[in-house]
Amino acid sequence: RIAYVNGRYVPHAQAQVHIEDRGYQFADGVYEVCEILKGRLVDRRLHMDRLERSLRELSITPPMSRLALGMVLDEVVVRNRVREGFVYLQITRGVARRDHAFPTADIRPAVVATVRSISREKNEHTAEEGISVITMPDNRWERVDIKTVGLLPNAIAKTKAREAGAKEAWLVDADGFVTEGASTTAWIVTQDGVLVTRPNGTGILPGITRMTATRVAEREGIRVEERKFTVDEAKRAREAFSTGATTIITPIVEIDGSPVANGKPGSIAMRLRAAFHEVAE
Ligand code: PDD
C-alpha cells in the first residue's frame, strides 16, 4: 500500500508525520472521506467544496490548489489499484512548537492521503441485514459542521455501540432530538412515507451522502422534510437509515433494542440505495 505524505508517495508502513504536528497535539486539522467506485471518486466536487470550507473556518491556508489536490488523490487511487473503496485525505495546520494559540508565522500544512479497498459484497450484505443503533447524549462541541480530526466523542460513542452489539450510535441533543450518528447522517421515514432528516447547521456535519440522497429521493418522487426528530419518533417510524461515504445508505432495523417497524430493512431505504450511484457524480 502506498500513502501520500507531504509531497511524497511512500509505502504505507513507512508513512510518518512529525511529533510536533498540530494535528497530533491539538486535533488541529480537517479531513475528508470519499467513496471510490470503478476507480473514480464519487461526488468529488462536493467533497472538495466541504474540505475548502472546513479549512476556511479554521483559517488553515489550503496547501495546494484544488486541481493539485485532486491529482494527488487520483494518484494514490491509481498507485494502489483501488477500484472500490474510499480515499482518506487529512490536512493539519502543520508543525510548530507546542503552544495552544495558532502560530502567527506561516507554517506549511501537512497533507496525508491514503486509500482502502472495501468489499462491495460485504457492504451489500450489511445493508440487506440492516444494522442496530444505540442512542446517547451528544456531548461534542458546537462546531461539528467543521470536519475536524477531533473525533474522540465519536470514537467513544462507536465503542459503546460496539459493546452493546450495535453498529452505530445516534447522538441526541439536550432537547431529546437526534443530531446525527457518530459517523453517519441519521434519517427516518414517517408512516406517510416522508423522509425526515435534521436540517444542516452547526450541530451536524453537512453530509455529502445526505445531499446526494436528497437528490435521489427527489428523482424517485419521495418527499424529504428537513426537521428535527426525537428518539421516540424514530422508534415509531416506518423506517430508519443512515447515510455516509463509506456505507452509502444502510437501513437501521433496531434502536436501543426495539425493532423499527417489523425489524427488517425498509423498502424506501433500499430503493434509495439501489438508485444512489445513478445520481451521484
Ligand atoms: N464520516 N456525520 C458525521 C459525524 C460523520 O463523520 C460523517 C462522515 C457523516 C456523513 O457524511 P458524508 O455523507 O459526507 O460521508 C455524518 C466519515 C465517513 C468518517 O469519519 O469516516
pLDDT grade for 196, boundaries at 50, 70 and 90? very high
Per-residue pLDDT, averaged over 160-168, amounts to 98
List Cα–Cα distances, 27 to 20, 73, 147, 203, in angstroms: 12, 22, 11, 19
Q: How many CB atoms lie within 10 A of CB 163?
A: 9
Assess if CATH 3.30.365.10 describes domain 123-279: no
Fold of 2-118: D-amino Acid Aminotransferase; Chain A, domain 1 (3.30.470)
- Would the CB of 207 count as within 6 Å of ligand 1? yes
Which value, in Å, is the radius of gyration of the alpha carbons in the chain?
Answer: 19
CA end-to-end span of the chain: 27
Per-residue pLDDT at 120: 84
Domains 2-118 and 123-279 share a fold: no
Per-residue pLDDT averaged across 175-183, rounded?
A: 98
In a mutational test of the pocket of ligand 1, which residue from 33, 171, 216 has the highest number of ligand atoms less than 8 Å from its CB?
33
For the Cβ of 200 lying below 6 angstroms from any atom of ligand 1, the answer is no
β-partners of residue 243 are 185, 249
Average pLDDT value over all residues in the chain: 97
**Is the complex ipTM higher than 0.90?**
yes
- Tell me what percent of the chain is helix, strand and coil, each rounded to the nearest 5: 30, 30, 40
Q: Is the pLDDT of residue 207 over 90?
A: yes
Q: What is the pLDDT of residue 232?
A: 97
Name the pLDDT band for 187 (thresholds 50, 70, 90): very high
Contact between 80 and 2 under an 8 Å Cβ cutoff? The reply is yes
Q: Is 242 in the pocket of ligand 1 (CB under 6 A)?
A: no
Q: What's 63's DSSP letter? A: S
Write down how long the chain is: 281
Domain residues of the chain, as ranges?
A: 2-118, 123-279
Rounded to an integer, the average pLDDT of 170-179 is 98
How far is the centre of ligand 1, averaged over its atoms, from the C-alpha of 125 (Å)? 20
- Percent of the chain with pLDDT strictly greater than 90: 98
**Contact between 28 and 110 (Cβ < 8 Å):** no
Q: What is the whole-number distance in angstroms between the Cα of residue 154 and the centre of ligand 1?
A: 11
State the closest ligand 1 atom to the C-alpha of 144, by its place in the atom list counted from 1. 4
Distance of alpha carbon 56 from the chain centroid: 19
147 classed as catalytic: yes
For residue 119, is pLDDT > 90? no
| Torsion over CA: 244, 246, 248, 252 (sign) | negative
DSSP 160: H
Q: Which residue has the cell 443530531?
A: 179
Among 112-126, 135-149, 204-218, the minimum mean pLDDT is found in: 112-126
Q: Which three cell numbers stand for residue 220?
A: 424517485
The pick from 205, 210, 279, 281 for probing ligand 1's pocket by mutation, whose C-beta has the most ligand atoms within 8 angstroms, reads: 205
> Can you tell me whether residue 139 is helix, strand or coil?
coil
Residue 8 Cα to ligand 1 middle (Å):
27
| Mean pLDDT computed over 224-250 | 97
